[in-house]
Amino acid sequence: MCRILWAFTALLVPGFAMSVQAASFDCTQAREADEIAICKHRDLSERDTEMGALWFAYRRVPMYMGTNGVRYDDADDFLKRRAACGSDAACLRRIYHARIKALRDDFERAMKAVRQQESEAAAVPPSALPAPVEAIITGYTDQCRKLGGALAAGADRPKIMTGDFDGDGKTDYVLNPQNLQCSAAATAFCGNGGCQIAIAVSGNNYQEPIMVLGGQPTLSQRSDGTKVEVWVNSSNCKLSNREKACWASYSWRDGKVSRSNQARPLTD
Residues 140 and 238 in one domain: yes
pLDDT in tens, 69-84: 556 677 888 999 999 9
Cα–Cα dist 131/147, whole Å: 24
Number of domains in the chain: 2
- In degrees rounded to 5, what are phi and psi of residue 141? -60, -45
User: DSSP letters along 162-176, please?
Assistant: EE-SSSSSS-EEEEE
Residues 140 and 227 in one domain: yes
Which helix (H) or strand (E) segment holds residue 77: the answer is: helix 68-85
pLDDT in tens, 89-130: 999 999 999 999 888 887 777 666 656 555 555 445 555 789
pLDDT at 2: 45
Average pLDDT over residues 243-250: 84
Residues 25 and 96 in one domain: yes
Residues 104 and 186 in one domain: no
Residues spanned by the domain of 108? 2-121
Residues 24 and 114 in one domain: yes
Cα–Cα dist 201/133, whole Å: 9
Residues 214 and 171 in one domain: yes
Residues 198 and 261 in one domain: yes
Instruction: Indicate the residue among 90, 121, 152 that finishes a domain.
Output: 121
- Average pLDDT of the chain is 79
Instruction: Indicate the residue among 70, 96, 121 that finishes a domain.
Output: 121
pTM for the whole thing? Answer: 0.56
Is the pLDDT higher at 64 or at 264? Answer: 264
